[in-house]
Every structure is written in structure tokens, then in C-alpha cells.
A and B are shown apart, each in its own frame.
Chain A
Amino acid sequence: MAVNVAELIDALPEVDQDEATPSGGVVTEALATILSDRPVPTGSMRRLSLLGGLQAKIAVAYGFHWLRGWFQDADQRERDLKETHFKTALKMLDSMGYLRGAVMKVGQTLANFPDVAPDGLVQTLDKLHFQAQPMHFSLLRETVINELGDEPHNLFAEFDETAFAAASLGQVHRARLKTGQQVAVKIQYPGIARTIRSDFRNLVPLLLPSRLTGDWQNLKDQVEFARRGIEMETDYTREAETQMRVRRLFFEEDGIVVPQVYPEFSTDRIITMDYLEGDHLDALLAKNPSQDERNDYALKLTRAGSRMVYHGRMNNVDVHAGNYLFMPDGRLGLIDFGCVIRIESDAMWELYGRLHRAMMTGEDSSIREVMMEWQQLTDSPSDAEHLRLSTEFGKLVWKPYYSPGPFDYGDREYLQRGIDLMAEHMKNRCTRSHPTNLMQARWHVGWWMMFYRLGAIIDPAPIVNEETTVTGWEGC
């Protein structure tokens, strides 16, 4: 259902370009240069050198300028203008090659924070489904030489020149090490990390509403969380390190594999790791796996998630089907550790322990108090709705664990209730007290979605209980 950018541009109303130009020094000037119909800005060299990062910056600026307008209750005329802004931004996006990835990443990350980026954006981004243009082999070679000091064909016994998969900020190539090991080499687009980070810094002032609202602090918190998320995703060194850490959590008998990282072929821009043979969820389902196979994978997914949380004190918040590989021998492959949050604070960990134990009872009376603490809520009537929603959401998350016997994840109503609750959370702005709430809610929904599609019918409780024993939490 992905909409082509060109179609979208066509669909938007035509407005005079002059009107579309936003106020504000550099942006206007550079835009005038870039938007002019001349194929390349003629004249000064200085202008020419603006093109690289700036074009991307402006497109983002433009997009968010539009976005910001969405906040304020604009009248119709203004709203038309906003659409033009967006249209212009899209036009530029369309011509930006792989730098589009940067723009999308900023947008998608912000989409997790509804007070910053309203619904409209999320839906638009989802529909557009930008696919970054791959790097051609000459660019790739230069990047590899810069990063690893030699041509790919000298470093590796074999190196596939065409990427076999797209990553959000780069692409993944198959290769064979000189030792014979089959590897996947994930390579980041040059300049993209810095572009994203600096765009983000520069755009925050643009984003914040001009009229001060009472929610200033909350807004700032959300922006800060979004910024951290972005830094995390662009940091391949951190990702590789997390991956090595997670890998140590799993053993052969688990049937769960985390690819080994090869540090001598990994840098800030490249991660080289074992290649895992396997299917994504779609491909697996297309093969009509038996109920037993589905259940087995679901049990492994449960084990993988629990192991990371309870043993590793970390949480992979980027739950989507692309990050799991269903291997032909029945093992589960875990990839992509770009969005792993570590629970560093002991106080937080202890509180989480109490929340978990309360949740395992499934009883409102035990849950209420600890939920208030977890969500930083009070007894006041203004918090009542928030508390009710959080409690219900929490119970839904833990339901498969505290309900006796096998749980049917294929139950449409269960999934629907989760999605509705998340929407209600957003509507009631329950993300206010904890900027990460929504991220966590999305994480749970992502998780449910996978189990739902797998149509698993399993009792996850024994696994969860087994995995929590290591925490030393009383009663686990």
C-alpha cells in the first residue's frame, strides 16, 4: 500500500511557490537556490558547497515547519499553506537519494512522541514508506576503504557487490571471511549519522510551539528522549557492543542465536557479523508451518525477550518482524540491537521487580499501588483515568503469564484491545508522566502483533518464571 512520492506530490493542491517560502534567514535563502528550476545553482562556489548536508537539512526543516503548524489551530488558509510546505519538502525528499533515510529516521523517531509529532505525521510517514536508494558499488568501496583500510575484495575472500537487504541507515551485504565464515556486513551511509544528529539539534527550536503551553517540560522531555533514541540508532559501535553482550546471554540449548560480531571488520560505520540463514516472519508464514512449529518459535521468542530483560536488564524496544529470523533448523535468530535500552538504575530495577510480581497476581488490589509508583501518579481524581488505563494495559501485557494454561495469541480481540488501549493512552496524553511510556506500549503492541501473526497457542508462564529466578527478586 506504499504511496509513491510522486503521486503524493501530484495529489497535493497547487499553490504559488512564493507563498510557500517560510520566513527565516538561511533556510529561505538556500531554498530559493535549490527550488529554482535551474538544474544546478549557477554562480558562486559557496552556494554549490551548500548542497550536501544542507539540502537534507532544509527538507527536514521544511517538513517540520509544516508539522509544527499542525499543532496550532490554524485556519483553513494557513492549513493550505502548510500543505504546500509539506509538498515542497516532499519534492526535495524525492531528489535526495539516500539522504532521505536521514529525514525518515528523524520523522519516525519523533512519531513515537505524540506530543511532539501529531498523528498526521505518523500516518503520512507510514504511507510513504520511503525506501532509501542503495549506495552504488563505487561509493561502497570508498566507504569500506575509509573504514577498514582496504578494498572489500582484498579484505574478504568474497564480497557480494549488491546488497541483499536494506537497513534503515544503510545496507547489508553478504561476504565470506578468509577463514571461510559467511558474514553479513552492515554498512552505514556516509555522513548520515552526523546529518541526522545535527538536523535534530537544529530542528528542535523549530518544532517547539510558538505559543507557550503549560506542557513545556513534558515536551522537552519527549524531545530529549527522541534525541537519545536517534543517537542510539546511529551509533554502530554501541550496537555492536550491545550485540556481543546479548550474545553471551544465550546458550546452545536455548535454540536462540545472536550472530557473532567481528570487531576487526567493524567500526562506527560498519558491523560485520555471522550471516544467519533464515526467513522473516512473512516468508515463514507463507510456508504454512504447523501449529507445533509456530508454538515452538513463540516459546523461543518468549525466552529471548525474557532472557534479555531479566538476565540482561535490557530491552529491545525495536520490535518488528524484520529483526527476527526463523532459521531452517528451528532456531530463532535475533538481529539488530540498535534500539536496546539498558536498565541501569538499581532503584528502577527494584521497582520493576515489584511491578512484575504484582502483575503476576493479576489482581487489581496488588497492582494499584505499585502502578502508581511506576507511573508517578497520585490519588488525585485528575490521575484516575490515567491510572485506570495503565492498570488495564499492564494487565493485558501480563495476562498470558498469569492466566492458567495455554494462551491463544491468535485471539483477535486481545490484540484489538491492546491497540485500542494504546490509542486511548495517546488520546488522554498518558505519555505525559513518562516519555517512554508510548515507546514501551509500542514495544508490547509490536510483540503482540508478531505472536498474533504466528497464531501461537502457548503457556509462556513456565518460561517467564524460569527466567525470573535469576533476578533474585523475592517470590520469583
Chain B
Amino acid sequence: MRVSAKTKEATRQKVLQVSQDLFNSEGFRETTSRDLAKAAGIAAGTIFNYFPTKEAIVLQLVCDALENAEATFNRRVRPESTLEEDLFLYVSTGLRQLQPMRGFVGPAFETHLGPACGGDANELGDRIRTSHVEMVSGLLSKHGHDEPPTAVHLQMYWLLYTGVLAFWAKDQSRKQEDTLALLDQSIKMFVNWYLAG
């Protein structure tokens, strides 16, 4: 029997959902593909039709969360705020959306989003990076910086951003308040540096 596109999408969502639950309750390493398939109610081999690896599942979760965050940010952003406030809010809204997966996303950040992976062939990683960078460019232009940021600007921004992500994933402070402080400093640093030319 052919599986309809609709059923397929539902199963995919189901896999994502149970993965998040199991990675949180059992740990990323400890959870096997077999466990995931079982929890999603599909045959052990079938899961690979959806995601080739566990890492791919994590990346998809991150990607979805950040896409949602984009919408939330657009609702939260205020017309009268400063560039610094907007950039801060954009990143912090993303972090809030990523919160349910904080326990297991750290390694995925480093592998797929870090500056070292450069133009690597990971499609999702690229998508996350591209849409984030587009938003940042948009915010710069909202604040009257119409020339598109240079590659160096964006590389610098990305370095800071992924640094904050890595810090956040391991932040032991109360409600990750240290991440807020670091984010604030990082954004200030970027804005000052950007404005200085």
C-alpha cells in the first residue's frame, strides 16, 4: 500500500516529537534508532527513510524551532527599538524556542553551525545560517545601514552568535542568566565593531 504524503509528514512529525522526548529523558547517546522507531510506532528500518542519522533529527528540530522563533520575533519586535535591542531580541527569542532541546543540541551546534564547518554540504545547516544572516541584514537596514554587510562582518557576527549558542548549551547558571550577559556583551561588541567600520 502506498503511503500518502500526508501520512508521511505525520510520521515525520511523530519521529521528531518522540526524539525530543527520548533525547531529553534518556540522553542523546543512549537513545538508539530502534528506540525512536519503536516510540514512533514504525518498523526499525523505516526510520531511515525519514532521517539518515540521529544528528539529522537534531538538526531538523533546531531548524524548526528557529523558524518558529522567526515568527515570534516578528511579533515581539518594536518599531522604536535600537539596533542592539533588535539583535539581542532576535537571538534571545531563538534561544527561548530552543529551550526544550537545550540538553542535547550542543554537539549539533558545533558540528553543523560552527565557523569551522564553513561551506560544508549540510543543507539544513546552510538554511539555518542563511535565514539568520538574512534577518541580521534586514535589521541592519531597518536601522539605516543600507549597504549590505560584508562577508567579514557576517563571519564575525556568526562567530559571536555560535559562541553564544555553545555557551548557552553548557550554561550552569540560574535560568541561564549568564548567557544573557554574554549575549549582551557579544551584541555590543558586534555593533560597536560594525559601526566603527
The residues of A with any CB-CB pair to B shorter than 8 Å are: 39-40, 42, 45, 48-49, 51-53, 55, 96-99, 135-139, 141-143, 145-147, 189-192, 194, 268-269
A52 near B177: Cβ-Cβ < 8 Å? no
Contact-size category for B: 35 or more
A136 to B182, CA, bound (A): 14
Residues of B within 8 A of A (CB): 81-82, 84-86, 88-89, 92, 96, 110, 114-115, 156, 159-160, 162-163, 166-167, 173-178, 180-182, 184-186, 188-189, 193, 196
**Interchain CB contact under 8 A, A40 and B160:** yes
Q: How far is the CB of A216 from chain B (nearest CB, A)?
A: 34
Report yes or no: A49 in contact with B167, Cβ–Cβ below 8 A.
Answer: yes
> Other than the known A40-B193, A42-B159, A55-B185, what 18 A-B pairs have Cβ atoms closer than 8 Å?
A40-B159, A40-B160, A45-B162, A45-B166, A51-B185, A51-B186, A52-B178, A52-B182, A52-B185, A53-B178, A138-B84, A138-B88, A139-B88, A145-B96, A146-B175, A190-B178, A190-B181, A194-B173
10 A-B pairs whose Cβ atoms sit less than 8 Å apart in the complex: A45-B114, A48-B160, A52-B182, A138-B85, A138-B86, A142-B88, A146-B175, A189-B181, A191-B173, A194-B174
Q: What is the minimal beta-carbon distance from A314 to any residue of chain B, in angstroms?
A: 28
Determine how close the nearest CB of chain A comes to the CB of B30; give it in whole angstroms. Answer: 26
Contact check, A136 vs B85: say whether CB atoms are below 8 A apart: yes
Residue of A nearest to B168 (CB): A49
Q: Are A39 and B177 in contact (CB under 8 A)?
A: no
Q: Establish whether residues A97 and B184, one from each chain, have CB atoms under 8 Å apart when the complex forms.
A: yes
Q: A190–B193 Cα gap in the complex (Å)?
A: 24
Known contacts: A49-B166, A99-B181. The answer to whether A136 contacts B84 by CB under 8 A is yes
- Quick check: A52 and B174 within 8 Å, CB to CB? no
Contacts of B185 in A (CB 8 A): 51-52, 55, 96-97, 99
- Determine chain B's interface SS by DSSP, over half rule: helix
- Complexed CA–CA distance, A268 and B196 (Å): 38
Indicate if the CB atoms of A39 and B184 lie closer than 8 Å: no
A97 to B176, CA, bound (A): 19
CB distance from A38 to the nearest CB of B (A): 10
**What's the least CB distance linking B24 to chain A, in Å?**
20
Say which residue of A97, A136, A138, A190 sits within 8 Å of B177 (CB atoms). A190
- The CA of A56 and the CA of B37, in the complex, are separated in Å by 48
* Shortest CB distance A230–B (Å): 17
Contacting residues, chain A, for B167 (C-beta < 8 A): 49, 52
Closest chain-A Cβ to B57's Cβ sits at a distance in Å of 24
- Report the Cα distance A313→B184, complex, angstroms: 42
In the complex, how many angstroms separate the beta carbon of B197 from the nearest chain A beta carbon? 11
Contact of A40 among B81, B156, B166, B176 (CB under 8 A): B156
Whether A39 and B189, one on each chain, are in contact in the complex, defined by CB atoms closer than 8 angstroms, is yes
Q: Which residue of A lies closest to B175 (CB)?
A: A146
**B-side contacts of A194, CB under 8 Å:** 173-174, 177-178
**Among candidates A48, A53, A147, residue contacting B181 with C-beta atoms closer than 8 Å:** A53
CA distance A99 to B159 in the complex (A): 22
A191 in contact with B181 given A40-B156, A45-B162, A49-B166 (CB within 8 Å)? yes
CB distance from A457 to the nearest CB of B (A): 50
Question: Which residue of chain A has the shortest Cβ distance to B82 in the bound complex?
Answer: A136
Q: Give the shortest distance, in Å, between B191 (CB) and chain A (any CB).
A: 11
In the assembled complex, which residues on chain A have CB atoms less than 8 Å from the CB atom of B189? 39-40
> What's the nearest-Cβ distance from chain B to residue A36, in Å?
14
Are A139 and B184 closer than 8 Å at their CB atoms? yes
Give the distance to chain B from A142, nearest Cβ to Cβ, in Å: 5
Give the nearest-CB partner of B188 in chain A. Answer: A97
Taking CB atoms, residues of chain B closer than 8 Å to A55 are 185
Q: B183 to chain A: closest CB distance in Å? A: 8
Question: Which of B84, B86, B159, B163 has the most chain A CB within a 10 Å cutoff?
Answer: B163
Considering the complex of A and B, which 6 residue pairs feature the smallest CB-CB distances, nearest first?
Answer: A190-B177, A48-B163, A52-B182, A191-B181, A138-B85, A138-B88
Q: A45-B114, A136-B82, A268-B174 are in contact. Are A191 and B180 (CB under 8 A)?
A: yes
Provide the residues of chain B in CB contact with A42, threshold 8 Å: 159
